[in-house]
Amino acid sequence: MAYQSRIQDDFTDALFEAILRLENVEECYRFFEDICTIKEIQSISQRLEVAKLLKEGRTYSEIEKVTGASTATISRVNRCLHYGADGYKLILQRLEEQEEEKE
């Protein structure tokens, strides 16, 4: 059974299809700098780092010091890790696999 998102619509489908066509990090920077504010990009990247640290078992205070994220943000990411759509789990697993391939 396919995953059905609560945010899915034609505009969002088109956005995600566009993102999937980006071929490297430089293209990502160029696209995201045009489509998002700097603060939006920083917030998204901060959340991903928070997710990585939570998965490593780091404490909220450690994560707050390393990332500058508020406890509210850390809590939200933690909730998504446990009760969300498994998006963090999917990407963190793929990033770990990529790191293992490099070793």
Residue 78 has pLDDT above 90, yes or no: yes
Angle at 19 between CA 84 and CA 42, to 5 degrees: 65
Residue 2 has pLDDT above 80, yes or no: no
Task: Tokens for 27, please give them.
Answer: 């293209």
Identify the pLDDT of residue 102. Answer: 85
Residue recorded with tokens 């430089």: 26
Higher pLDDT, 63 or 2: 63
| Cβ within 8 Å of residue 55, ≥6 positions away | 81, 92
Q: How far apart are alpha carbons 48 and 52 in whole angstroms?
A: 6
Q: Where are the domains of the chain?
A: 10-102
Higher pLDDT, 59 or 2: 59
Domain 10-102 -> CATH class = mainly alpha
Interval 18-64: pLDDT, tens:
999 999 999 999 999 999 999 999 999 999 999 999 999 999 999 99
Higher pLDDT, 92 or 5: 92
